[in-house]
Structure 1
Amino acid sequence: MIKTIAQAWKVAELRTKMIFTFLMLVIFRLGSCIPVPGIDRSQLANMFNANESGLFGLFDLFSGGSFSNFTIFALSITPYITASIILQLLTIAIPKLEEIAKEGTEGRKKIAQYTRYLTVVLALVQAIGYTFGLFRQVIADNSALSKIVIILTLCAGTAFLMWLGEQINEKGIGNGISLIIFAGIVDRIPRGISHTLSAYRDGTVSIVSIILFVIFALVVVVGIVLVQQGQRKIPVQYAKRVVGRKMYGGQSTHIPIKVNQAGVIPVIFAISLLQFPLTITYIWPGTSFAAWVAKWLSPSGHPGVWIYVTLDIILIIFFTYFYTAVTFNPQEVADNMKANGGFIPGIRPGRPTVEYLNKVMTRITFAGAIFLAVIAAMPTLLQQWTNLSIGFGGTSLLIAVGVALDTMKQLETQMVMRNYSGFLK
């Protein structure tokens, strides 16, 4: 990784992209320190001291600490993720949206535009809920103007993060939204280590629990790297054909099918959906619905933790298959191979090829989905078996390592493209 970064730094264009990405992430971290106006900081600290874990921890994970400090980025990029989920589901359910999505670049631009509009709407709803619900006790000035300013500030923060992520996609390296979440997670690591050491000195966490977590973290990191890099290579043979006076084809290649084709997206999607009923309980506390959710659907409830983990596993498996189906189309791959005279040895072109690719993808995706589900669920279970409470668990490591690998892969791809370009010149 270090060698790749060093080589990429020597290329002027890639160096510019890397510097731009870094500066965008710096702006994100600086914005995470700007507080929302009209908030009583002492009451805010007391509220989070009483709710250090559970849902607050999940919100704080995605916002990089902005949620607990109630800064302008307190909503984080969660509304955008939720909007993306909704649009992708509607694309399958509504034929008109499906037609737009198949229009190529212009279709993707329209879907992206709809996603932005829906993000602003969801951010507005969430900001109103926080202002009049969860954070109503920490607002210093209860006037209508003060609350309007808070709502607009939170919405503007989410819109700015969405724009920041798109700028990274366009002018930087890697996926902008994923990198924003990655930056927030990495920023929490030093504080998590400090908190754990303090808990150890106070005697609330044993050395066995810390060693158990370190071993778990190392296993997770190694497992993530192996699964993210693992792939099934399906051989493809191209028949020889004569065009004019030249002969084309005859070479052998392969189709790389990754074990985890969906990356960390299923985990992010699953957490976003599981947060929804829990968010309502914090907006309207004290209701019978809030008590029911706290008992049955909360990661800190009993027996809610087991139901939460079960739903988390089911949603991750579902979104792994769903996102893989969106990003990999066996019919399109088979048609492209057939059009170029390619075939899988032992498999007839056309429908048999599609069925074979579907079978391979279904089996290999199951392994990747189970891995993601286990890694995401284990930290919650470990916290039930030990008193260890740390700011980064399996989900955090999964997202951080996955985003780092994806970013490095994009960097290597761009380097290869430029090397080939230079060679051809």
Structure 2
Amino acid sequence: MLGSFGDAFRLPDLKRRILFTLGVLFIFRLGAHIPTPGVDTAAMAQLFGGSGGGVLDFLNLFSGGALQRFSIFSLGVAPYINSSIVMQLLVVIFPYLEKMQKDNTEGRKKIVQWTRYGAVLFAVVQSVGMTAWLGGLGIFSGSFFHALLVVTTLTAGSIAVMWMGEELSDHGIGNGISLLIFAGIVARIPEAIVQSWTMVRLGQLNLLVLLLGLVLMVVVVAGCILLQEGQRRLPVQYAKRVVGNKVYGGQSTFIPLKVNQAGVIPIIFASSILVFPYTVANFFSGSSVGQFVRDLFAPGSVFYTLCYIALIIFFAYFYTAVVFNPSDIANNMKKYGGFILGIRPGQPTADYITKVMERITLGGAVFLAVVALIPNFMSSVMGVRSFYFGGTAVLIVVGVALDTVHQIEAQLLMRHYDGILKKSGGKSGSLLRM
């Protein structure tokens, strides 16, 4: 892997992409430390150190600590993710939108544009909810115009984060939105280490419990890597074909079906959806209904845990269905004379691939849910109250890191073959001139 990174910096185009990615991540982390005007940051820090830390630490995880400082990037990528979820659901529900997404480039551009508009709408709703929440806690007590300034600042910050994520996807390495979440989580690791060591020194955390937590984290990392890299290989045989004087086919290969085809998307989507009702409940923080909804969707509650598991499994199947089409694979195999042993080509092959994919997706989804609930286990069973760098964060970090490394290796492989083709082209050209 280190050799791949060394080779990457020797290629000008790939080096430019990596440096662009690092530059955007630096700007993102810089913005996470710029406070929003009119908010008492000291009172915010005191709030996170109080009894409400469990919920707030969870909300703070995906913003990379920006919420704790109530910076201009406090909303992070949550509005864009919520808008993407709604748009993908609408594409599945309405055939017109599905046709737009599949048929032409202009249709996909319109869907992307509508997703951006939806992200702005979600940003406004969430920023108003957060401002009302701070007002109810007494941290923000400004006038209407001061509140309007806070809402505008948070919305503009969310739009800036959305733009940075799209620029990373277009001109950088990896998925932009996932990289921003990755950067926010990784940036909190030093703080988590210092806080854990301080708690051990003060006697608030048993050293044996800490070591057990570290061992559990190593096991989770290993499990996440196996989950991300695990695949079921379906053997495929290609029949021999005679075209002129040449014989094609006759070889055996396989179709790699990933156990976790959706990656970290189910956890990100499920977390973002469950945070939204809590944000909306802040509009009614003084009423019994608002307090009931906030308690209902508080991380760690029974209802929240059940919804979290159900949403993770749902989005694992949903996103797999979006990105993986067994019918296309079966048709391509039939076109080139390929078949799975014991299965007829065409629709029976598509049905068989779908059946296998449903089974392995269930295993991957259940494992995702188990990993995501590890922080709750650490908090309730082992008594580790500040274990916010838990299963969800580890899975996102491992998944994004592996995806980024694979993309760098793919870029290196593509340029390596380009170099071979250029060299062979030059030799053939010289032979022709001779």
Common fold, TM-score beyond 0.5?
Answer: yes
The Cα offsets for residues 267-286 of structure 1, whole Å up to 9 and x where unpaired, read as 01111111122223344323
How much does 1:407 deviate?
0.7
Q: Residues 35 and 69 of structure 1 are in contact (CA less than 8 Å); yes or no, is this contact kept in structure 2? A: yes
The alignment status of 1:404 with 2:401, answered yes or no, reads yes
Q: Residues 129 and 283 of structure 2 are in contact (CA less than 8 Å); yes or no, is this contact kept in structure 1? A: yes
Q: Residues 317 and 370 of structure 1 are in contact (CA less than 8 Å); yes or no, is this contact kept in structure 2? A: yes
Q: Secondary structure at the match of 1:102?
A: helix
| CA distance in structure 2 between the aligned counterparts of 1:410 and 1:346, rounded to whole angstroms | 35
2:305 aligned to 305, 309, 320, which one? 309
Q: Residues 283 and 290 of structure 2 are in contact (CA less than 8 Å); yes or no, is this contact kept in structure 1? A: no
Give the alignment's Cα RMSD to 1 decimal: 1.7
List aligned pairs for 1:266-345, cutoff 5 A. 266-300=266-300, 305-345=301-341
How much does 1:52 deviate?
4.8
Query: 2:134 aligns to what?
Result: 134
Query: 1:116 aligns to what?
Result: 116
Distance 1:114 1:245, change over 3 A: farther
Q: Residues 204 and 387 of structure 1 are in contact (CA less than 8 Å); yes or no, is this contact kept in structure 2? A: no
Q: Secondary structure at the match of 1:237?
A: strand
| CA distance in structure 1 between the aligned counterparts of 2:343 and 2:24, rounded to whole angstroms | 48
Query: 1:103 aligns to what?
Result: 103
Q: Residues 21 and 173 of structure 1 are in contact (CA less than 8 Å); yes or no, is this contact kept in structure 2? A: yes
How much does 1:193 deviate?
1.1
| CA distance in structure 2 between the aligned counterparts of 1:106 and 1:409, rounded to whole angstroms | 30
Query: 2:74 aligns to what?
Result: 74
Report the TM-score when normalising by structure 1: 0.94
| CA distance in structure 2 between the aligned counterparts of 1:271 and 1:205, rounded to whole angstroms | 28
The alignment status of 1:60 with 2:60, answered yes or no, reads yes
Number of residue pairs matched? 420
Query: 1:153 aligns to what?
Result: 153
How much does 1:206 deviate?
1.1
The Cα offsets for residues 238-260 of structure 1, whole Å up to 9 and x where unpaired, read as 22334455443333322111111
> Which deviates further from its counterpart, 401-410 or 96-105?
96-105
2:349 aligned to 335, 350, 353, which one? 353
Distance 1:45 1:25, change over 3 A: same
The unaligned stretches of length 5 or more in structure 1 are: none
Query: 1:34 aligns to what?
Result: 34
The Cα offsets for residues 102-136 of structure 1, whole Å up to 9 and x where unpaired, read as 12543332221111110011101111222233356
Q: Secondary structure at the match of 1:236?
A: strand
Query: 2:195 aligns to what?
Result: 195
The Cα offsets for residues 259-303 of structure 1, whole Å up to 9 and x where unpaired, read as 111100000111111112222334432321233235443225xxx
Query: 1:125 aligns to what?
Result: 125
Q: Residues 39 and 138 of structure 1 are in contact (CA less than 8 Å); yes or no, is this contact kept in structure 2? A: yes
How much does 1:40 deviate?
2.1
Query: 1:222 aligns to what?
Result: 222
List aligned pairs for 1:353-392, cutoff 5 A. 353-388=349-384, 389-392=386-389
Distance 1:343 1:240, change over 3 A: same
Distance 1:359 1:401, change over 3 A: same
How much does 1:416 deviate?
1.2
Q: Residues 189 and 391 of structure 1 are in contact (CA less than 8 Å); yes or no, is this contact kept in structure 2? A: no
Q: Residues 77 and 177 of structure 2 are in contact (CA less than 8 Å); yes or no, is this contact kept in structure 1? A: yes
| CA distance in structure 1 between the aligned counterparts of 2:149 and 2:371, rounded to whole angstroms | 40
Q: Residues 55 and 278 of structure 1 are in contact (CA less than 8 Å); yes or no, is this contact kept in structure 2? A: no
> Residue 398 of structure 1 aligns to which amino acid in structure 2?
L
| CA distance in structure 2 between the aligned counterparts of 1:311 and 1:173, rounded to whole angstroms | 33
Query: 1:258 aligns to what?
Result: 258
The alignment status of 1:424 with 2:425, answered yes or no, reads no
Report the TM-score when normalising by structure 2: 0.92
Query: 2:391 aligns to what?
Result: 394
Q: Secondary structure at the match of 1:63?
A: coil
> Residue 401 of structure 1 aligns to which amino acid in structure 2?
V
> Residue 422 of structure 1 aligns to which amino acid in structure 2?
G
Q: Percent identity?
A: 49
> Residue 336 of structure 1 aligns to which amino acid in structure 2?
N
The unaligned stretches of length 5 or more in structure 2 are: 423-434
Query: 1:48 aligns to what?
Result: 48
| CA distance in structure 2 between the aligned counterparts of 1:135 and 1:3, rounded to whole angstroms | 53
